[in-house]
Amino acid sequence: MAVGLARYRFWGKSVYQNVAYLPLIIPDISIAVSTLVFLALVKSFFSMSLGLGTIIAAHVVFCLSYIALAISTRIGSLNPYLEEAAQDLGATPWQSFTQVLLPQLAPAILSGCLLAFVLSLDDLLIASFTAGVGRIRCR
């Protein structure tokens, strides 16, 4: 997500960036209640049980913006000509991504994942709200 937002132009890019960074701005209790309402509606619509998957989904959605912010900050300081030089020397776009860009982004990816892990542990409030989805009835 961060590489696509930093490198490419597409329709709705600014809207997507603004929506992706909402968890950074909105208080945790608001995210917890809105996630609870959404998952309760999904559960009643599909008539399925949503156990541990709801907690995982809530934490992924909540922490994804923190990881994207850390990686996009690192992408801004990279030399964009290194990938182009690798492709000029015969590398495919996939090889230039995995052998040139990914090693340079590894510290940002690691720091984003560690930040997401710490925030995920910190946000037990969201987990406690989403764990109650199985016990709520929507009419």
The pLDDT assigned to 57 comes to: 75
Task: Record the tokens describing residue 139, joined without a space.
Answer: 């009419």
Q: Which one-letter DSSP state was computed for residue 135?
A: G
The pLDDT assigned to 63 comes to: 83
The pLDDT assigned to 134 comes to: 55
**Is 35 within 8 Å of 102 (Cβ atoms)?**
no
**Is 1 within 8 Å of 8 (Cβ atoms)?**
no
pTM reported for the whole predicted model: 0.70
What's the CA gap between 20 and 128, in Å, rounded? 23
* Region class of 106: left (phi > 0), else alpha (psi between -120 and 50), else beta: alpha
What's the CA gap between 74 and 12, in Å, rounded? 23
The pLDDT assigned to 128 comes to: 63
**pLDDT < 70 regions, the chain:** 44-52, 124-139
- CATH number for position 28: 1.10.3720.10
DSSP string for 28-91: HHHHHHHHHHHHHHHHHHHT---SHHHHHHHHHHHHHHHHHHHHHHHHHTS-THHHHHHHHTT-
- Residue numbers of the domain that contains 97: 2-135
Counting the structural domains of the chain, the total is 1
The pLDDT assigned to 121 comes to: 80
What's the CA gap between 111 and 71, in Å, rounded? 9
What is the residue-averaged pLDDT of the chain? Answer: 80
